[in-house]
Amino acid sequence: MIKGFTSLLAGFNKLLSEEVLRSILWRIALLLFVLMLVVTAGVYGLAEYIAGLWLPEGDAWYWQVLSWMVWFVSILLALFTGAISFTVLGSIAVAPWLEVLAVRAEGLHLGRALPDPDGGWLRPMMSSLSNAVRPLIGLLLMGLLALAVIWLPLVGQLAAMLIWGYAGIRFLNFELLDVPATRRDWDYSRRKAALAGQQFFWLGFGGLGMALMVIPGINLLVLPAAVVALSSALPTED
């Protein structure tokens, strides 16, 4: 897990310290900022809706304690959902710039400049969208499992939060991996095998990414930092 943490942090450091990477970062951050405002509004609405479903009724002494617990779990679930939504939409919206960022990061790693890709906007955006479909289906299945256990007495909400949190981290890793993996022509099976082969690395990498995704401002840098980190860390051939 520590290696996953440090790898993502190294991506942040390189992203902010190398001029060739910073020169494109502002475009990515600006578009993601607009998207963040939209998603944030949705997160607040979702938290209120979830809390409204669970809030207990009555005047018992424990009502206030249960209410705080419900709000806490509701906010966490809404934040997880918001982070995932932001990642999916952001990955698609800035896919062409992330591809340029990956090429430049690889060039820095190799010690020589590589030509920027010139494939237009549609190809990388459609690639990002298509690569998100199968991981998204897996996420939805885990979400159904979380929904099934959420009504269990006492432990249901905590279990649902843990299931949804794990599913969210797994899905986030697929999204953070997308651009570097696409450049290496990795199909879904190859990506899934890579995540399964280094579970603790990806738990740390995606876990830190998920935590940073819920921090306004910092969340604008998670996607590009992950692309920079993985463009250097992933093998260039099988």
Distances (CA, A) of 174 to 44, 105, 226: 26, 19, 11
Going by C-alpha positions, the residue among 161, 141, 204, 180 that lies closest to residue 4 is 204
In this prediction, residue 57 carries a pLDDT of 62
Quick one: average pLDDT of 106-133? Answer: 80
More confident of the two residues 165 and 61: 165
In this prediction, residue 56 carries a pLDDT of 59
In this prediction, residue 53 carries a pLDDT of 62
Distances (CA, A) of 97 to 29, 30, 31, 201, 230: 11, 12, 11, 26, 16
Q: HSE of 220 in the Cβ direction (CA atoms, 13 Å)?
A: 17
Contact by Cβ (8 Å): 216, 10: no
Quick one: average pLDDT of 14-24? Answer: 90
Q: Is the pLDDT of residue 38 over 90?
A: no
DSSP tally for the chain: helices H, then strands E: 9, 0
In this prediction, residue 238 carries a pLDDT of 44
| Other residues' Cβ atoms within 10 Å of the Cβ of residue 101 | 26
Average pLDDT, the chain: 82
Residue 113 burial class via C-beta count within 10 angstroms: exposed 0-12, middle 13-18, buried 19 and up: exposed
pLDDT tens-place string over residues 185-207: 889 999 999 898 888 899 999 99
Q: Is the pLDDT of residue 10 over 80?
A: yes
Residue type, 44: Y
In this prediction, residue 7 carries a pLDDT of 92
Contact by Cβ (8 Å): 213, 175: no
More confident of the two residues 167 and 52: 167
pLDDT tens-place string over residues 75-100: 777 777 777 778 888 888 888 888 89
More confident of the two residues 200 and 119: 200
pLDDT band at 8 (very low <50, low <70, confident <90, very high): very high
